[in-house]
């Protein structure tokens, strides 16, 4: 199976998180972009401050690689105006995909109307600008019941407010890859959580992010039904090798 068009090659660490200087970290970002171009991956997923650089590199190389970036990352707890402003800047700089971190803590606190408004306005902005929108629900922070509820909430907001042709452009995404778990529990996608998302987000597509490190794991996710896989191990996965990367 050629899985390159399922892979969102990802690098989202800040220099501080990576233990590097800003210059060293920027070099890794550029290497990630170049690697994605050379390996014909679907998309490169980078932080907003690097979108312009990615657009320039892709234009020069005449590549079909698309650019994704994260919005309100990694906690998702800013208000909707903050999210929309950050997304608008990313659109202006050339992003193709907008991966919003949903305010899952607001959802857990019962602020359902606030979450629905966020999904509606963020999706509206993306679709009006012909972008793909993904909503990161952070499965490691949720119970199985909450995963079911939140996946269904996003689906219901989209179905109620947008056209059927738009459904394929609004994803439910599992994880940021940055959530801190305890006792060695996974902080990304697992087959169990992905099944719950697929069952309750349908007809919206699902992106599995975090924890996919081998070709076989990627194929298993695709077989379940995911349309995208977010991973910092894209090159290793595509070449059939195992990666020790933590996302």
pLDDT at residue 94 in the model? 98
The upper half-sphere exposure of residue 13, i.e. CA atoms within 13 Å in the direction of its Cβ, equals: 20
**8 A C-beta contact, residue 198 and residue 206:** yes
pLDDT at residue 176 in the model? 97
pLDDT at residue 228 in the model? 98
Give the CA-trace dihedral at 100, 105, 108, 114, to 10 degrees: -60
pLDDT at residue 242 in the model? 67
Q: Give the DSSP letter string of 16-42.
A: HHHT--HHHHHHHHHHHHHHHHHTT-S
Q: Is 180 a catalytic residue?
A: no
Of the residues 83, 131, 134, 207, only one is catalytic, namely: 207
Of the residues 13, 83, 134, 173, only one is catalytic, namely: 173
Q: Is 235 a catalytic residue?
A: no
Q: Tokens representing 72?
A: 């309100």
Spell out the residues 6+ positions from residue 21 whose beta carbon is closer than 8 angstroms to its own: 15
pLDDT at residue 241 in the model? 74
Facing residues of 133 across strands? 98, 170
Query: Domains of the chain (ranges plus CATH)?
Result: 4-238 (3.20.20.70)
pLDDT at residue 190 in the model? 96
89 by Cβ neighbours in 10 Å (0-12 / 13-18 / 19+) ranks as middle
Q: Is 99 a catalytic residue?
A: yes
The structure tokens 């949903």 sit at 102
Q: What is the pLDDT of residues 141-173, one digit of tens each?
A: 999 999 999 999 999 999 999 999 999 999 999
Q: Alpha-carbon Rg of the chain, whole angstroms?
A: 17
Is the pLDDT at 107 greater than 90? The verdict is yes
The reply to whether the predicted model has a pTM over 0.85 is yes
Of the residues 99, 134, 155, 235, only one is catalytic, namely: 99
Reported as a pLDDT band with limits 50, 70 and 90, residue 103 is very high
Q: What is the pLDDT of residues 57-98, one digit of tens each?
A: 999 999 999 999 999 999 999 999 999 999 999 999 999 999
Looking only at the bridges linking them, the beta strands covering 66-71 and 97-101 are parallel
Using a pLDDT cut of 90, give the percent of the chain over it. 93
**CA separation, residue 205 to residues 32, 42, 133, 189 (Å):** 25, 15, 11, 15
């Amino acid at each position: 199976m050629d899985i390159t068009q399922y892979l969102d090659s990802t690098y989202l660490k800040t220099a501080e998180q990576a233990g590097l200087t800003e210059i060293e970290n920027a070099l890794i970002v550029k290497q990630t972009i170049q690697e994605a171009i050379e390996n014909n991956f679907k998309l490169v997923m980078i932080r907003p401050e690097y979108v312009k650089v990615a657009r320039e590199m892709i234009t020069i190389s005449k590549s079909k690689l698309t650019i994704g970036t994260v919005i309100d990352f990694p906690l998702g707890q800013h208000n909707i105006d903050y999210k929309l402003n950050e997304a608008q800047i990313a659109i202006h700089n050339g992003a193709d995909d907008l991966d919003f971190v949903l305010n899952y803590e607001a959802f857990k606190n019962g602020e359902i109307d606030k979450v629905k408004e966020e999904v509606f306005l963020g999706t509206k902005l993306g679709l009006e600008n012909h972008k793909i929108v993904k909503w990161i629900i952070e499965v490691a922070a949720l119970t199985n019941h909450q995963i079911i509820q939140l996946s269904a909430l996003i689906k219901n907001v989209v179905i109620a407010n947008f056209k059927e042709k738009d459904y394929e452009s609004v994803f439910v995404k599992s994880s940021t890859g940055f959530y801190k778990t305890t006792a060695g529990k996974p902080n990304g996608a697992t087959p169990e959580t992905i099944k719950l998302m697929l069952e309750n987000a349908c007809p919206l597509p699902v992106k599995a992010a975090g924890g996919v490190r081998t070709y076989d794991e990627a194929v298993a996710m695709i077989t379940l039904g995911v349309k995208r896989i977010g991973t910092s191990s894209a090159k290793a996965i595509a070449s059939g090798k195992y990666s020790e990367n933590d996302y």
